[in-house]
Amino acid sequence: MRSFALIPALLVMLTFSCSAQKKIVAKDASQHIGQTVMVCDKVYNTEVQAASNTTLLYLGSETGAYLTVVVKGPENPKFKWHPETDFKGRTVCITGKVADYKGKPAVYVTDNSQIKLDVH
Protein backbone atom coordinates (compact mmCIF):
# COMPACT_ATOMS: atom_id res chain seq x y z
CA MET A 1 0.00 0.00 0.00
CA ARG A 2 2.82 2.34 0.84
CA SER A 3 4.38 2.01 -2.66
CA PHE A 4 1.09 3.14 -4.24
CA ALA A 5 1.33 6.39 -2.28
CA LEU A 6 4.63 7.15 -4.03
CA ILE A 7 3.12 6.92 -7.53
CA PRO A 8 1.41 10.36 -7.47
CA ALA A 9 4.61 11.95 -6.16
CA LEU A 10 6.66 10.36 -8.93
CA LEU A 11 4.16 11.50 -11.57
CA VAL A 12 4.35 15.08 -10.31
CA MET A 13 8.16 14.99 -10.37
CA LEU A 14 8.19 13.55 -13.90
CA THR A 15 5.73 16.16 -15.14
CA PHE A 16 7.79 18.95 -13.59
CA SER A 17 11.07 17.70 -15.07
CA CYS A 18 9.55 17.42 -18.57
CA SER A 19 8.01 20.87 -18.47
CA ALA A 20 11.07 22.50 -16.90
CA GLN A 21 12.99 22.38 -20.17
CA LYS A 22 12.70 25.70 -21.92
CA LYS A 23 11.72 25.73 -25.63
CA ILE A 24 13.17 28.66 -27.57
CA VAL A 25 13.89 29.83 -31.13
CA ALA A 26 17.44 30.24 -32.45
CA LYS A 27 17.54 34.04 -32.21
CA ASP A 28 17.06 33.76 -28.41
CA ALA A 29 19.91 31.26 -27.89
CA SER A 30 22.45 33.94 -26.91
CA GLN A 31 20.32 34.71 -23.84
CA HIS A 32 20.65 31.09 -22.65
CA ILE A 33 24.42 30.40 -22.71
CA GLY A 34 25.16 27.67 -20.17
CA GLN A 35 21.54 26.51 -19.99
CA THR A 36 20.03 23.31 -21.36
CA VAL A 37 17.18 24.17 -23.71
CA MET A 38 15.22 22.87 -26.68
CA VAL A 39 15.76 25.06 -29.74
CA CYS A 40 13.23 24.66 -32.54
CA ASP A 41 13.90 26.54 -35.76
CA LYS A 42 14.59 26.18 -39.47
CA VAL A 43 17.97 24.94 -40.72
CA TYR A 44 18.89 27.67 -43.19
CA ASN A 45 22.31 26.41 -44.18
CA THR A 46 24.71 23.54 -43.52
CA GLU A 47 28.42 22.94 -43.85
CA VAL A 48 30.78 19.99 -43.53
CA GLN A 49 34.33 20.93 -42.63
CA ALA A 50 36.37 18.45 -44.64
CA ALA A 51 39.53 18.52 -42.52
CA SER A 52 37.75 17.59 -39.28
CA ASN A 53 34.57 16.01 -40.73
CA THR A 54 32.60 18.35 -38.44
CA THR A 55 29.03 19.06 -39.53
CA LEU A 56 27.52 22.48 -38.87
CA LEU A 57 23.82 23.31 -39.05
CA TYR A 58 22.89 26.99 -39.05
CA LEU A 59 19.54 27.62 -37.38
CA GLY A 60 17.58 30.84 -37.72
CA SER A 61 19.94 32.43 -40.27
CA GLU A 62 22.19 31.55 -43.23
CA THR A 63 25.38 32.34 -41.31
CA GLY A 64 24.83 30.77 -37.90
CA ALA A 65 24.55 34.19 -36.30
CA TYR A 66 21.73 32.93 -34.07
CA LEU A 67 22.72 29.31 -33.44
CA THR A 68 25.15 26.76 -34.84
CA VAL A 69 24.55 23.08 -34.21
CA VAL A 70 27.90 21.28 -34.11
CA VAL A 71 28.34 17.56 -34.77
CA LYS A 72 32.06 16.88 -34.41
CA GLY A 73 33.69 14.37 -36.75
CA PRO A 74 34.11 11.52 -34.25
CA GLU A 75 30.39 11.76 -33.41
CA ASN A 76 29.19 11.44 -37.04
CA PRO A 77 29.31 7.62 -37.23
CA LYS A 78 26.70 7.46 -34.43
CA PHE A 79 24.09 8.92 -36.75
CA LYS A 80 22.22 7.16 -39.54
CA TRP A 81 21.38 10.43 -41.25
CA HIS A 82 23.29 13.03 -43.19
CA PRO A 83 22.37 16.29 -41.47
CA GLU A 84 23.94 18.46 -44.16
CA THR A 85 21.29 17.20 -46.63
CA ASP A 86 18.53 15.64 -44.52
CA PHE A 87 17.81 18.74 -42.41
CA LYS A 88 18.59 21.68 -44.73
CA GLY A 89 15.45 23.77 -45.23
CA ARG A 90 13.54 21.86 -42.55
CA THR A 91 12.58 22.76 -39.01
CA VAL A 92 14.34 20.78 -36.31
CA CYS A 93 14.36 20.73 -32.52
CA ILE A 94 17.76 20.46 -30.88
CA THR A 95 18.11 19.69 -27.18
CA GLY A 96 21.31 20.52 -25.37
CA LYS A 97 23.37 23.02 -23.45
CA VAL A 98 23.95 26.33 -25.25
CA ALA A 99 27.69 26.95 -25.46
CA ASP A 100 30.05 29.18 -27.40
CA TYR A 101 31.35 28.26 -30.88
CA LYS A 102 33.72 30.86 -32.30
CA GLY A 103 31.95 33.69 -30.49
CA LYS A 104 28.43 32.57 -31.40
CA PRO A 105 25.83 30.43 -29.60
CA ALA A 106 26.02 26.71 -30.34
CA VAL A 107 24.71 23.35 -29.23
CA TYR A 108 27.05 20.37 -29.52
CA VAL A 109 25.15 17.26 -30.61
CA THR A 110 26.64 13.96 -29.48
CA ASP A 111 23.58 11.68 -29.54
CA ASN A 112 20.66 10.92 -31.90
CA SER A 113 18.17 11.84 -29.19
CA GLN A 114 19.30 15.48 -29.26
CA ILE A 115 17.99 16.24 -32.74
CA LYS A 116 14.48 15.70 -34.08
CA LEU A 117 12.44 16.96 -37.01
CA ASP A 118 9.75 19.35 -35.80
CA VAL A 119 6.46 18.02 -37.13
CA HIS A 120 4.33 21.00 -36.05
pTM for this structure?
Answer: 0.79
Angle, CA 56 vertex, CA 62 and CA 93 arms, to 5°: 80
CATH of the domain spanning 22-117, picked from 3.40.309.10, 1.10.10.60, 2.40.50.140, 1.10.10.10: 2.40.50.140
Q: Which residue has the higher pLDDT, 95 or 83?
A: 95
Q: Give residue 84's pLDDT band: very low, low, confident or very high (50, 70, 90).
A: confident
What is the pLDDT at residue 6?
A: 45
The rounded mean pLDDT for the chain is: 84
Q: Which region among 8-17, 46-55, 78-87 has the lowest average model confidence (pLDDT)?
A: 8-17
16-20, 106-110, 115-119: least confident range:
16-20
Q: Burial code of 67-87, b = ≥16 C-beta within 10 A, e = fewer?
A: bbbbbeeebeeeeeeebbeeb
